[in-house]
């Protein structure tokens, strides 16, 4: 019964434009669903530059920021709110490391992505450049890693509020076998 006494959190998960373009929407939703988290909100959405900039405001000073904004606004994204005990950290584990080439097999990025920018991935493969977080991206777009997940419960709430309007989230509970919560 330990889990039921812990705090229930919410996290904002977003399938990025490359995930939508590559037809990975079902696969990615399925991983969170099968894990057992509760889906509270879901929509396909084309975001504005302003919204993308607000979402990533902590990265404003990063050299890859303009490319990151171009990437996130390059096509529709799938916005999701997921709820559960420990959902923020658990979702980050399911997603895997930021750089898909470094993400462990079994994670979403480890299983489904390699792309780190059109030019850079070739250079990385030969060890001539450090990928992603550790250096500037030389590709046309910032690190394409199919999915986003909030990095703290506070950011989970902030991001859900940012991406969803009132009335877009459903307050429902799942009828579960009692042993799932033991
Ligand atoms: P996310 O917020 O999307 O889950 O990613 P994260 O915490 O794993 O990584 P973060 O450092 O917050 O970066 C946000 C997104 O920016 C892109 N990125 N590009 N050098 C680069 O080109 C570079 N580094 C990061 C990635 O799309 C990353 O997910």
Domains and CATH numbers, the chain: 2-114+145-164 (3.30.70.141)
Neighbours of 182 (CB within 10 A): 9
- Say yes or no to pLDDT of 126 above 70: no
Is residue 148 part of the annotated active site? The answer reads: yes
pLDDT of residue 127: 53
- Say yes or no to pLDDT of 131 above 60: no
Neighbours of 160 (CB within 10 A): 23
Q: Mean pLDDT check: name the lowest of 119-128, 137-146, 152-161.
A: 119-128
Q: Which residues are bridge partners to 38 per DSSP?
A: 83
- Residue 109's nearest CA partner among 91, 85, 88, 136 is 91
Is 148 close to ligand 1, i.e. is its CB under 6 Å away?
yes
Asked whether the CA dihedral 49, 51, 53, 56 is positive or negative, the reply is negative
Tokens 């977080």 sit at which residue? 133
Is 143 close to ligand 1, i.e. is its CB under 6 Å away?
yes
Ligand 1 center to residue 98 CA distance, Å? 6
Q: What is the pLDDT of residues 43-83, one digit of tens each?
A: 999 999 999 999 999 999 999 999 999 999 999 999 999 99
Helix (H) or strand (E) holding 110: helix 108-112
Helix (H) or strand (E) holding 42: strand 38-45
C-alpha distance from residue 61 to each of 2, 27, 152, 171 (Å)? 41, 33, 21, 37
Mutate to test the pocket of ligand 1, among 68, 98, 141 (most ligand atoms within 8 A of CB): 98
Residues 6+ apart with CB under 8 A from 10: 40, 81, 82, 83, 87, 153, 156, 157, 160
- Contacts of 44-48 with C-beta under 8 Å, sequence gap 24+, read 44/20, 44/76, 44/77, 44/78, 44/79, 45/76, 45/77, 45/78, 45/79, 45/163, 46/73, 46/75, 46/76, 46/77, 47/72, 47/73, 47/77, 47/163, 48/73
Is 116 close to ligand 1, i.e. is its CB under 6 Å away?
no
pTM across the whole model: 0.86
Residue nearest atom 20 in ligand 1 by C-alpha distance: 132
């Amino acid at each position: 019964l330990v889990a039921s006494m812990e705090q229930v959190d919410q996290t904002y998960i977003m399938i990025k434009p490359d995930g939508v373009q590559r037809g990975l929407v079902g696969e990615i939703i399925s991983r969170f669903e099968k894990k057992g988290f509760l889906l509270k909100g879901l929509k396909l959405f084309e975001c504005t530059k302003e919204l993308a900039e607000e979402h990533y405001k902590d990265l404003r000073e990063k050299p890859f920021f303009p490319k990151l904004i171009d990437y996130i606004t390059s096509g529709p994204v799938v916005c999701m709110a997921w709820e559960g005990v420990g959902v923020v950290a658990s979702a980050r584990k399911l997603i895997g490391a930021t750089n898909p080439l470094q993400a462990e097999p079994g994670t979403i990025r480890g299983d489904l992505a390699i792309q780190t920018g059109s030019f850079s991935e070739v250079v990385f493969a030969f060890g001539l450049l450090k990928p992603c977080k550790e250096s500037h991206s030389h590709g046309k777009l910032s690190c394409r890693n199919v999915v986003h997940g909030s990095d703290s419960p506070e950011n989970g709430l902030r991001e859900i509020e940012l991406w969803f309007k009132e009335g877009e989230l459903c307050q429902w509970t799942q009828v579960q076998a009692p042993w799932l919560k033991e």
